[in-house]
Structure 1
Amino acid sequence: MNVLIIYTHPNHQSLSYAFLQEAILGNKENAKVAEVKVLDLYEEGFNPVLVFNKEKRRRDMHADPELARYREQLIWADKIVFIYPIWWGRPPAMLLGYIDQMFAAGFAYKDTGGLLPEGLLKGKSVVCISSMKGPAHYPLYWLNNAHKTLMRKALFNYVGIKQVKFFEFGSMESPRGRHKQKLNKVYRYFKTLER
């Protein structure tokens, strides 16, 4: 199994970075994992801004040569892991800009003329590891589960990815946030992952 981890946080002293380290360690200790690659969007200097004009059209985004390396990473991966904080009830703008560009028509899905497209990323699976300042149930009760709905239904299911797991950790700025237990939970998940 090839694992691509997409890390989105500007600070390497953050809890998100600690989750990244546990995910890497767990994957490296898992005999079922052949290789792990990490894409750090901030360190990479990924440009999340969409540009469409006479020379750069949206319908051609699936073949944009500047994004070819990132498309190859997604094709290579059997499992895609996203690690990010939840800010204002959703992933950071940096990650949303990556999603806007990478999950393009002609690459991630194909219009069929029907209600839903044909997902072109079938067979892959996704894990989303997110943390937030608010309590763990805040997105469910206050936001009608907007974060999970956005990621699972509006994105991953749309492009053919049906297997999606969430680790949505709340109260992460509290001294009672049980950070060690949550970090260990992520490590153990990847160490024992079958598929």
Structure 2
Amino acid sequence: MKTLIIYTHPNHNSLVYSFLEKVIEGSKENPNIKEIQILDLYEESFNPLLVFNKEKRRRDMYRDPNLEKYREQIMWADKIVFIYPIWWGRPPAMLMGYIDQMFASNFAYKDKGGLLPEGLLKGKSVVCVSTMKGPANYPLLYLNNAHKILMKRALFSYVGIKKVKFFEFGNMESPKGKQTEKLNKVYRYFQSVK
């Protein structure tokens, strides 16, 4: 299994970065994971801004030469792991800008003229590891599970990815947030996932 890890946080001294380290550590100990690539969107200085004009059309985004490297990473991967904080009930703008550009028509999906497109990323799986300051049940009770619905239904299912696993950790700024326990949970998962 080839694993692409997409990390989205500007601070390498953060708890989110500790989750990245645990994902890498567990993955390296997993005999099912043969290769790992890491994409740190901030370190990469990924440009999340969409630009469309006479020369650059949205319908041609799937062949933008500036995004070729990232398209190759997605096609290469069997499993895509997203690691990010939840800010204001959703992933950071940097990650959303990556998604807007990478999950483009004629690369991630193809319109068939009907209600739903053909997902072109079938067979891949996704794991989302996210942290938030608020309580763990906040997204479910106050936001009607908007984050998971956004990621699973509106994005991954749309492009053909059916196998999606979430680690959504709340209370991460609290001294009683059980950070070590949650870090170890992620580590153990990646140590044995198939």
Shift in Å at residue 126 of structure 1?
0.1
Equivalences, count = 194
Q: Give a deviation string over 1:53-105, Cα, whole Å, max 9, x none.
A: 01100000000000000000000000000000000000000000000000000
Distance in 2 (alpha carbons) for counterparts of 1:17 and 1:37 = 16
Which residue identity lines up with residue 114 of structure 1 in the other structure?
G
Distance in 1 (alpha carbons) for counterparts of 2:163 and 2:93 = 24
Shift in Å at residue 9 of structure 1?
0.1
Q: How does 1:64-143 map to 2 (within 5 A)?
A: 64-143=64-143
Which residue identity lines up with residue 4 of structure 1 in the other structure?
L
Q: How does 1:143-162 map to 2 (within 5 A)?
A: 143-162=143-162
Q: How does 1:8-19 map to 2 (within 5 A)?
A: 8-19=8-19
2:186 maps to 1:183:
no
Name stretches of at least 5 consecutive residues in structure 2 with no aligned partner.
none
Q: Secondary structure at the match of 2:104?
A: coil
Q: Secondary structure at the match of 1:43?
A: coil
CA RMSD of aligned residues (A): 0.3
Distance in 2 (alpha carbons) for counterparts of 1:33 and 1:146 = 31
Distance in 1 (alpha carbons) for counterparts of 2:33 and 2:142 = 38
2:51 matched residue in structure 1: 51
Q: How does 1:7-46 map to 2 (within 5 A)?
A: 7-46=7-46
Shift in Å at residue 118 of structure 1?
0.1
Distance in 2 (alpha carbons) for counterparts of 1:15 and 1:159 = 30
Q: Secondary structure at the match of 2:149?
A: helix
Distance in 1 (alpha carbons) for counterparts of 2:3 and 2:40 = 14
Q: Secondary structure at the match of 1:3?
A: strand
Which residue identity lines up with residue 139 of structure 1 in the other structure?
P
Distance in 2 (alpha carbons) for counterparts of 1:2 and 1:25 = 15
Which residue identity lines up with residue 100 of structure 1 in the other structure?
D
Distance in 2 (alpha carbons) for counterparts of 1:193 and 1:99 = 25
Distance in 2 (alpha carbons) for counterparts of 1:8 and 1:110 = 27
TM-score using structure 2 length: 1.00
4+ residue segments displaced more than 2 Å = none
Shift in Å at residue 45 of structure 1?
0.1
Distance in 2 (alpha carbons) for counterparts of 1:53 and 1:184 = 47
Q: How does 1:158-169 map to 2 (within 5 A)?
A: 158-169=158-169
Shift in Å at residue 177 of structure 1?
0.3
Distance in 2 (alpha carbons) for counterparts of 1:17 and 1:36 = 16
TM-score using structure 1 length: 0.99
Shift in Å at residue 3 of structure 1?
0.3
Distance in 1 (alpha carbons) for counterparts of 2:70 and 2:79 = 15
